[in-house]
Amino acid sequence: MRLLSVYFIFMHLIAGEGVNLPLVIVTWEYPNATDKAYGILTSGGSSVDAVEEGCTFCEDYPSKCRYSVGFEGKVDENGEATLDAMIMDGTTLNVGAVGGIRRIKRATTVARHVLDYTRHSLLVGDQATDFAKDFVGLPEEDLNTDYNREVFESWKDENCQPNFWMNVQPDPTENCGPYSPSDQDKVVNLKETSSPSNHDTIGIVAVDSVGNVASAASTNGLNHKIPGRVGDSPIPGAGSYADNDVGGAAATGDGDVMIRFLPSYQTVENMRNGMDPKTAASDALRRIAVKYPQYMGAVIGATNDGEYGIACYGYEEVQYCTQDPKSGGPYCRDVTCDVTTSTSACLQSIALSWWISVVLISASLSAHLF
């Protein structure tokens, strides 16, 4: 399959279509993280190196990533910042991840060590912290600053709104805890908890100049999450997915819903079956929206020859950044969210994607036969 992947890249090159590699694509407007990852690729680093460094940038400089990733970022309802992170190597399909790691700034570096030096895929909680200190050699440190302490105190002053509790007493839509299970009518908490201002992830896909793919994600999780909560980011196929034979994808949004559908894996499988990246991501998100019409999410996707796209649902718009040989630097833009739950619209988009693929293949064959 790897030889087949290289063959298709080679065919694109001789057909004159141009393989646009290396490539980095990142969720949200994080141009510095994009540029950091791309610089790794152009200086001879691997795709795995690139996605690690892209995520690490946000963990080190959260103010440049909207305070959603790393120290100084989002905190749980006890006021503590904890991180989830993962890396996936598309060459081997191996994964390294950490969930709910405490008092460690560079969660993605810990995930990289899980990938490179263990036969496990996921370490969690205080034991992940011990691994980071004892094996990786990272310092244990307070991840809170005046900034996120102030945000936390403001949340408490507003009666802990919004939060993630339901079917408890006192009423979680009006009160802080502690809570206990309610024996009365169920209290459903429908207050919005996922939005562009509370997005929870940097997701990244990198493809090197010969088509090696890697993906990664890093997050503090949703603001004021229940302590101990782990979202979709460190779960392979949910937070991100990479396969050299096809490409890679990464997701962002309401992780508690998206984790149930593995949208990154679905996007890659859709691309394997002939969909372009945008159509593939749209189909993955539509499957979720049919069951959870109130959720919000986005998926980026890239093929192993440098085609990329993004789809989103529930938001008005999202941002993403890319960098490749043609861009002249990180290029970030807004995208209007147009995913629909309409099956007919989705089928039309898929049919168009397949038709375009057939036309391109036919044109390539004609150019060489005649």
Structure tokens belonging to residue 85: 């992170």
Question: 158, 264, 124: which is closest to 205 by C-alpha?
Answer: 264
**Bridge-based pairing state of the strands 94-102 and 23-27:** unpaired
Amino acid identity for residue 362 in this structure: S
Structure tokens belonging to residue 179: 């809570």
Residue 132 has pLDDT above 60, yes or no: yes
Burial bucket for residue 278 (CB in 10 Å: 0-12, 13-18, 19+): buried
User: Does 2-134+199-369 carry CATH code 3.60.20.30?
Assistant: yes
What's the predicted TM-score (pTM) here?
0.88
Question: 68, 74, 84: which is closest to 29 by C-alpha?
Answer: 68
Catalytic residue chosen out of the listed positions 27, 56, 201, 303: 201
Task: Report whether 300 contacts 282 (CB < 8 A).
Answer: no
Question: 202, 205, 203, 201: which is closest to 22 by C-alpha?
Answer: 205
Separation of alpha carbons 244 and 211, rounded Å: 7
pLDDT band at 11; cut points 50, 70, 90:
very low
What is the arithmetic mean of pLDDT over 297-321?
A: 97
Write the DSSP symbol of residue 97.
E
Does residue 201 have an active-site annotation?
Answer: yes
* pLDDT at position 70: 86
Strand partners of residue 332: 321
Residue 40 has pLDDT above 90, yes or no: yes
Structure tokens belonging to residue 243: 């396969």
What is the arithmetic mean of pLDDT over 162-191?
A: 86
Separation of alpha carbons 91 and 138, rounded Å: 27
Structure tokens belonging to residue 110: 């810990």
pLDDT band at 17; cut points 50, 70, 90:
very low
Separation of alpha carbons 122 and 84, rounded Å: 10
Separation of alpha carbons 221 and 233, rounded Å: 8
Write the DSSP symbol of residue 133.
I
Task: Report whether 57 contacts 223 (CB < 8 A).
Answer: no
